[in-house]
Each structure stands twice: as C-alpha cells, then as structure tokens.
Structure 1
Amino acid sequence: MKKRVLITGAAGFLGSHLCDRFIKEGYRVVAMDNLITGDLKNIEHLFPHEDFEFYNHDVSNYVHVAGDVDYILHFASPASPIDYLKIPIQTLKVGSLGTHNLLGLAKAKNARLLIASTSEIYGDPLVHPQDESYYGNVNTIGPRGVYDEAKRFQESMTMAYHRFHGLETRIVRIFNTYGPRMRLNDGRVIPAFMGQALRGEDITVFGDGSQTRSFCYVDDQVEGIYRLLLSDYSDPVNIGNPNEITIGDFAEEIISMTGTDQKVVYRDLPQDDPLKRRPDISLAKKILDWEPKVGREEGMKLTYDYFKSLSTAELNKRDHKDFTKHIRR
C-alpha cells in the first residue's frame, strides 16, 4: 500500500511544493490549510489527482484525520514579517497549540512528525555562520518574538514528545528560501524587490544594506526536507544555502537581472532584524549527503519569470469560491 502523508500549511509556498514532491514519489497526500496566508491556486493542479485530498482546517483546533497516517509535515505558520506582525496571536497559537495537536495525532497514528523550524530561532546571531549547537540571541518580547518564540517552543515540545513518548520526530531549521509560488507582496526580501522591479518602483533596502542573507532555491530546500524526514536523525538540522550576500549587493543584482533602472532607497531597519544570516550545513552534508545545487543566478531567473507571469493575478487577487467543492471541513 502507498504511504500516506499529512502536510499542514499545504497551500503555502513551501507546503505546496512538498505536496508536489510527495505525489511525485508515490505517496497519498492529505493537504491541510486554513488559507489565512495560503492560496488554493498553489495546489489546484493537484485536485484531480486520486492520491490527493484537501481539508480546510486550522490546526490550532483539534486535528482529526480518518485512516492511517505514516508521516506528518507541520508547515502551518505565517512565515513573513508582514503576516506574523499582522496576526501575532494566530502565529503563536499555530506554533504552540497547533504543534501540540499534531504531536498528539502523530502519537495516536504512530506516525513520524517533521516540524518546520526556522533560522529565526537564532535571532540576531552572535555566532557566524550559525550551526545547530548555537542557542540564539532572541528578544522574547520584541515584535518578531511572536514568530521566533513560537518556533523555539515548537522545537522544545517536539523534543519532549520524542524523549518522553518515544515519538519519531524530525526538526528542519529552514533558512531563507525562495522560488515560484511565493506571494509577490508578502514582505520578504526577494518578492519585495522583484515586485518593486515589476512595478518600476525604487528598490527599498531597510538598514544600510550591509546586513546579509543566504538564499536557498525551493527545489534544494524540498530535497533536504525529504531526506531529513526519511533519515534516522532526530535533532535539528539546518537546511539552507551558505552562499551569503549583503542586501545592498542583492538589490543591485535584482536591478541588473531585471534590466531596470530604479534607484536603491534606504529606510530604517526594523527592530530586531538580524544583521547576519548564513547556515553552517556541515551536519546536513554529513547525515543527509545534502547540499544545494541551484545557484542564485539560475534560481532568481526562474523566480523572476514566475513573478512576471503572475504579476497581474497577484495584484488582482483570485477568488477561491470555484474550489469550494474540493474543500472538506
């Protein structure tokens, strides 16, 4: 019989790509999303597939899935600052109550659970690059704390279930990931810069541009997550691209790539915004035989081509009502 996997946050950017991967690998996929930040258009191509089913549900409430479940991937959470600053309570709840509910489901189904953690658990790091042994430098009461602390609590509860109940768990710490299906106006660096380029606006850099990020293409990220799920390693693992670039240089790259002539304008850096971000992926190389394959130039072109094709649709949000027949409540 085919293995069955539950993916939460399935209509989001990463969740939808994971749905594609598991369908491709021959799994039966149960997709779950409350659509607070996800979009059904990311997974509508899967609706006709006999091995795909979708549930419109908020995992912060009790989660029930009939039948066997072999794997659970918990990717339900706002991931961009615009989202989690706008809905801070929901962000905290999905990281705490949602994780608790899915751990309970995994225990009841004897399923392996992988949770999506984040590089944000390192906060504004005092160690560079960041490896999994670093505990982080996080402001618990700052505006970003609703996301950072939700993820840190998520890791703690997951490890408690692993140690106390013997539950099979995996933790992926995701560094900045990009690619098709990102929301054009979600506030993260790449869609923000590309959206401004598409509209002919100046590129807005927060801070002086010296802060750094390391961008991982979505196909590489999904491959790392897939390998981690099927591994026998239960402690957190960084999955990201260690190719680091300053935000100022990256803005110039976007202008050059798009062939536009905008200026770069600078604004005040938001509170607690990390000044450095680069993963140490030595552990992923060792235990997963994984490292990123897609270079930034190739990945950015694929992503920009996607944004160019969807810019009108993104600016004029599509109606989900045509898909209601596929939703199970």
Structure 2
Amino acid sequence: MRRVKLFSVDALPYRQPIPVYGYRFGSRKKTLAVMGAIRGDEVQQMYTAARLVRKFAELEKEGAFAPDCGVMVVPCAGQFSMNVSKRFWPLDNTDINRMFPGYGGGETTQRLAARLFEALEGYQWGVHLASFYLPGDFVPHVRVIDTGYQPNEEGLDFGLPYLVIRKPYPYDTTTLNYNWQVWETHTFSVYSRTTDFIDEDSAELAAESILCFLAKRGMLHSQVPEGVLRFLSEKGLLGSEVPKGSGTRIVKEEKLINIHNKKGGILIRYHHPADHVREGNLLAEIIDPYTTEIREKILAPKSGTIFFAHHAQLIAGHSIVFRLIV
C-alpha cells in the first residue's frame, strides 16, 4: 500500500490547506479507481472506501493482485464540507459532482473537480461510491449511465441485487460518472443503503461487491468472494423479486414508480427498502406535527419491491416518499 498526496484544497478561510490522499495497490498500471466521498454528508461512502483500503492492503500482502493490476482508492475529497457539516461546498453551496471535468481557471469547485478528475483520469474501470439527491435509504445496487460508451452488462459482475440503467439527462453531463465514461473509463456508481450515517452491513456489502468485480475481471488471483448472496439474504437486503441463484436483476430507471405524498408533516414509515408490498398495502402515514392526527395515508399503487424510501421524518408536500420496482 502506498499513500500518495493527489493535491491540496487551498484558499480556505481561516484554514490551512487540506490534503487529498489516494491509496495505491498492486502495480503502477491504471486498472481500477474507486472514488469515495465528494460531498460533505457522504459519511457512508467515505467509510466504505476506508474498508476497501484495509481489504486491499490485506490482499496485497497475500499477493492476491494480478501482476498487471493497479488499483487506487480515494476515500474523501470533500473534507472541508464534511468538517462543517455541509453537503455542498460551504462558501457558495455548489456541488463538486456537478462540475466535472472541471476548469482549472474557474471557481473553487470547478478547480477542485479539475484536480480530482486529473488524478482519476486514465483508468480502465472506475467506481464511484455515490449518494442520491434525495435523503433516503436504498436497496444496495450498482448504477450505470447509458451513454453508449461502455457495455452496461459489466455491472452484473458486482453481484448486487439490482443493476439500474439510467438514461442521461442534461445535468448528468457534469457528473464524475458521465465524464469518466467520455474519457474512456468504464464507470459504475455503487449505492449502499445510507449516506449521512454509517450502516456497517451495507458498507461491507458494497466493499465485497467491488472485490467480486475485481475477481470476475481477473484482477485478483483469489476466488470470487463467497457469500455475497448469502450476506444479502441474511441481512434482509435481497428483494424477493431477485432469484437467489441469479444475483442481479436489470432495471431501467424510467420504469421505477415514484410514490409522492400530497401533504407535508411528520413521516411515519411502515415499510423499508427490499420489502415486497402488494397493491393497496399501507406504506406510510403523514401526521400533523401539532396534533399527531393522520393527514394522509400512502398506499402502494401496485405490487412490487421498495427500491428507495425517504428517511427524513419531516417531509414537505409533493416529495418522493418511495420508489417502487414492479
């Protein structure tokens, strides 16, 4: 294991420059890069990357990496935002993951994106431990943006319950995932259950899925990590719609059903990601924050598996409360 300083985040008010480190394993060839936290609330993503650093260090000692395999993990590039508990860049509330490939002569977040992209460019494969724009919990899954630059089916090698294929929207063109693909890196976003707090089970699953990908792609001499499906089943992370022998179900994101609430208030959830529900089941209630009277009951519009569930207990009206796979 070699820790290298990729760049420093400087020009910070009342702060010394903050170094951004990467951890290299195996050969010097650019085979796989893993990006952890970019935003300031991505505690789970940083923790998952840190677990990978430990696992890769152990594998390197065992001589498990193929001779021509070089891996880099960047646990965190958003330390300043994380230190002050802000999801976006604290000084202007901009999102670094909407600034790629960056611009060295631009605003602070554009310069940071440019430095980070320079460090990550040129790898054959890239994995972003990503978070969603809505606060909530997911079924662990791997996601690809369908740009046409790569075979999406490579995502099956992670062995996660779902491979979600997303058609790119204009705002996707400034994300790390999209630009990695444009610069000829085959790229995947891995989502675990949480963002702003640590869920050890799904962090372990995300780390194991990346080891699974490495093994299936011939980058590890060791066997494909056993027990990924068993782990999913034991921890309740495997939806009943996914056959236990097949491992992964391909889902097109436009086919997911968004379930909205009409009223704002306190959200009381009765179902969670990976739960299979039937049409008409009570999924959640919105209660009045002053009287606890029920303002709205949210029912399943169709039978399916819950893919995403909003977790913030104070919720505004007309929000996405659940996303459903049917």
Computing the radius of gyration from Cα coordinates, the structure with the larger value is: 2
* Structure in which a larger fraction of residues adopt strand: 2
TM bracket, shorter-chain basis: 0.3 to 0.5
